[in-house]
Every structure is written in C-alpha cells, then in structure tokens.
Amino acid sequence: MSGGVDSSVAASLLVEAGHECVGVFMRHARPAVEPQGQLAIVEPRAGHQGCCSAADALDARRVADRLGIPLYPLDLTDDFERIIDDFAAEYGRGRTPNPCVRCNAWLKFGKLFDYADAIGASHVATGHYARLEATATEVPVLRRGLDPARDQSYVLFAIPPDRLRRMLLPVGGLPKADVRARARDLGLAVADKPDSQEICFVAPGAHAGLVAARLGGSRAGDIVDLSGNVLGQHPGIEHYTVGQRQGLGIATGQRLHVIRIEAASRRVVVGPRTAVPEQFLEAADATWLVPVPTAPFACEVQCRAQRTAAPAIVTPLAADRFEARFTGGAEATPGPISPGQPAVIYAGDRLLGGGWIER
C-alpha cells in the first residue's frame, strides 16, 4: 500500500472479496545527504506526485484504518540502496536506466515475498494496471491492463515467472475512472490524489548530481558529430539519453539529436533525426513468461513505458539474449532506442518476455 488511489482500491477489492489482508508500506525514501552535499532522496516537486514519502505513509495508514486491516511499514532502505547504485552505475556506462522496473523485480515482487512467507501469506497484491490469467501450466498469462492509457505491464516484465502464480492485480481490469469512483464511494481520502509521476529518490532534473555524488569524478567530455568533429563540450554523459534534442548546449543552426553515448571516451555523438537508432536492438538478461523461443517470431516490441509497441521480428541469440528488427517502416517505429531501457515483447495484449537493451 503506497498511499495512492490504485493500491488503496486494490486493497478494498480484496477485502470485499473476503481475503484476509495485511497492508505493507515500503519505507525507503529517507533523506540522505551524499558526500558532496547533494540531497539524494527528496520530496516530489509541487504539483507532481512521487511515492513512499511520509505523507504517503500517512495516507496508507488512513486507508488501512478505513478498511479495517493492519498496516506494517517495512524498512527496505538498505535494499533500496542497490537500486540507487544501479541507477548511478547505468548512467556512468552511458545508458538510461529504469529504476521502477528494478524496484518491481527486486522489492515489490522480490523482498515482499520474503515478508509474505514470514507471515504465512499466500499472495502479494499491488495496484498495478495489468492482468493475470491462470493457465494449465505453472506460469499465468500476463496481459496489459484493460485501460490502455494506464497499462503498467511493461514495468512488470522482469518479475521471475514463478512469482506470477502468487501475484494478484485487482485493478488491472478496471478503467482508472472506475478506480477513482470506487475510492470516492468508499470515502477514501486518496480518491483524487494525483498519480505517481516521479522517480521517488531524486527530484526531476537532479539525477546528474546524484550520479556525480555516487560515482565521483567528472564524466564531462566532447559533443561530436557523426564524423568525430568536436562541436562543443558537455558537463557529463549522465545528462543525455539517445534521441534527446533539447538541452544539448550547442548551437549549430541544425536540429541535432543524441545518436549514441560513448562512455569510455565520454563523447556524446549527435546528428540528424534520421540517424537516431530506431530499427534494431539487441537485449540481454531476458526474462521469458513463455517457453524460451528458439526460432525467430513476429511480435510487437515496446522500448519505453510511455510509448506504443511496434511490429518486429525477434530472433533469440541465447536463452537470455535476443535481437529485434522493427518491420513497420517509418510510420511504426518504437521511437529512439536507448541502451539501458527495457525491450518488452508482446503478442497483442499478452506479455511474452523482455530484456534490457544493450545496443
């Protein structure tokens, strides 16, 4: 229970269905000052909603009291350090990380299972917008949420398949408007609370300071064109992601985009929009919710949480590696392909698996 409307309504639905529920609030967003004085973990900016703050804990407590269920705060600060370290290390490698996927795999559907086992709970439930369907096999089918504008299946791809049998996603079959309406009917104070929109451990635009504090030293270097000509300098590769156009800090009279980031030389390579990679990717550390494929197959691949999936041919390279070649042409690309982001594979609304983009 995060203190948001989705997990609150999920809990209410489980209580209504007759389950014996225990609420859990993950405590990990303590203020932490980094060695260089950079505040690493902060409250969200005004008008935007983060998660796991002291105010969220109070909201979760009020909802639990309203539903008549216990709520226990779990201090996962030490475990959460692993996510922050991974976040910084990925930027240091010239990649664009996705800490929410790591949190789901390592904490929400990782460490919380340890707690569930400790108290004899049969399932772990959250307010994610995705759907699970039981099958005759051991691994349930994971589908997109019924509300396409709210679907969160993308950030669940890395959950170990054996955990799916013990997961419940009560709001995945509901439109968001219905979830808010149910919250109002129940008199929950979080009915109109804004959705979480921020990374919970660093303020928008402040991630570069966190990376610098965690890794130490400078990752400043040159901004170069596709021929290697120096166009300017940048303060650190962690300020950039593939496809980025705004905030490059150079003026050439052309619209330039980040084409790639070369961590070893600390060079940011820029060029025209047509040079941004959108047709091919290779991914590693794959998780499969179906039998591991051994031959190429047609599917759709999604490369960012807020983008649509694009038609592709996925070719397995090993049990935990695959490549995807996009087949939709200029009208159906996945958008800029950024190393470090997930590439998640779908057949219609069914999630088949995914991996982390390497190139």
Could you give the 3-state DSSP secondary structure of residue 96?
A: coil
List the catalytic residue out of 51, 103, 299, 303: 103
CA distance 260 to 77: 34
52 is catalytic: no
| Interhelix angle 5-16/54-67, nearest 10 degrees | 20
CA distance 311 to 333: 8
CA distance 147 to 173: 7
Contacts of 8 (CB under 8 A, 6+ apart): 1, 59, 60, 63, 127, 183, 188, 190
List the catalytic residue out of 51, 100, 200, 303: 200
The secondary structure element, H or E, covering residue 176 is helix 176-185
Q: Is the separation of the CB atoms in 18 and 171 below 8 Å?
A: no
51 is catalytic: no
Could you give the 3-state DSSP secondary structure of residue 210?
A: helix
Contacts of 340 (CB under 8 A, 6+ apart): 90, 93, 95, 96, 97, 98, 356, 357
Buried b (16+ CB within 10 A) or exposed e, 241-267: bbbbeeebeeeeeeebbbbbbebeebb
Closest C-alpha among 264, 346, 268, 285 to residue 93: 264
* Encoded tokens for 198: 């921020």
CA distance 27 to 23: 13
CA distance 224 to 221: 10
CA distance 299 to 305: 17
Q: Scan for tokens 């609304």, then name that residue.
A: 349
Query: Sign (positive/negative) of CA torsion 58, 59, 60, 65?
Result: positive
Catalytic residues: 103, 200
